[in-house]
Amino acid sequence: MKKISLILMTLLLASSIAVFAAAPTKIAYVINGSLGDHAFYDSGYAGLMQIKKEFGVKVKVLECKFDPSLYYPSLLTAARWADVIFVISYGFEKELARIADRFPKKVFVNVDTNVKDPKHLITSVVFRQEEGAFLAGATAAITTTLTQLPGINPQKIIGAVGGDDDIVIKAFMYGYKKGAHYIDPATKVKIVYIGNWDDPAKGKQAALQLYAQGADVVFQVAALAGIGVLKAAKEVGKYAIGVDSNENSIAPGHVITSDLKEVGKSMYKIYKMILDGTFKRGHLYSFGVKEGMVGLAIDDYTKKILPKGVIDRIERLQQSIADGKLKIEPYKAGEDM
């Protein structure tokens, strides 16, 4: 009986690992929004270009531009052409499941959310964004006490602008608030959701309101709309924190750091796993600070703003998370912000 069970377990494991007769040579990147956000989507594109350069594959990008009428046709085009399809499927998870069911031999990798399908054809990659946001919140809370810096007032107030109040963005805000209160429970955290991802003017308006309410630092989690937050910081002589990609250079002297979510790096890692045979179809991969997929961008731009002692403190916090000494609990839907 034990022998039969062992055989069954071996067969199940083998069926979950994608096996290719030859290395996949065509990769598609299907996104619900558009490139040019200097953040999330562009990070994925950078990873795609790295795969293309290093392995000589052909690539295709399909931008849905938040148009629901493009979701299914874009996925269909990708599935007919590519061997591996990376998808940012916010808003069209059901369409993705339908396409995966039609093309069971293709590899579908959904990035940033967990799409469950009964046949386990879709592999999902999620990020422990609470960890990076925790570090962003801690940095903001420390910065708001540095009254020796230009533009910092005596009040301990920080802010954040979210593109929408979906579960991923709420997880960012949850981590941001936890990080701030880890440094100082008295720090006030003001959060605004703008319901937009691609209008920098709306991001800028929200940030200006937060700065007017006393915030010294505003964290943006709003894709292209969030670029307006960074520009607002420069305009009023305050500070901002970027997201997803390193945005420190967009408003030099005013973006103290960026909370990285390495979408492109994760895509590269998944493709390498496909090549070396360790990739598991239908598996849920979780990446955070420990895996080097989440964390803060601390560079020369950061060093020109923050004192070395502050940067050292932040880096120690980041290392504590990587080592598992400091655990950041994941956000649960409906949890009080």
Helix, strand and coil percent figures for the chain, each rounded to 5: 45, 20, 35
Both 166 and 236 in a single domain?
yes
Both 313 and 169 in a single domain?
yes
Is the predicted pLDDT of residue 282 greater than 80, yes or no?
Answer: yes
Beta-bridge partner residues of 87? 30, 110
User: What strands, in cross-sheet order, belong to the sheet with 122-127?
Assistant: 58-63, 26-31, 84-88, 107-111, 122-127, 284-287
Both 184 and 236 in a single domain?
yes
Both 274 and 243 in a single domain?
no
Q: What is the pLDDT of residue 263?
A: 97
Both 113 and 234 in a single domain?
no
Give the mean pLDDT of 240-269.
97
Both 123 and 143 in a single domain?
no
Both 139 and 57 in a single domain?
no
Number of domain units in the chain: 2
- The CATH number of the domain holding residue 182 is 3.40.50.2300
Both 189 and 115 in a single domain?
no
Range of the domain at 70: 2-128+264-287
pLDDT tens-digit readout, 129-179: 999 999 999 999 999 999 999 999 999 999 999 999 999 999 999 999 999
Both 185 and 316 in a single domain?
yes
The answer as to whether 66 is a domain residue is yes
The answer as to whether 335 is a domain residue is no
Is the predicted pLDDT of residue 115 greater than 80, yes or no?
Answer: yes
The answer as to whether 334 is a domain residue is no
Both 112 and 170 in a single domain?
no
pTM over 0.85: yes
Locus of tokens 């493709």: 271
Both 223 and 270 in a single domain?
no
Distance CA 162, CA 177 (A): 13
Both 150 and 299 in a single domain?
yes
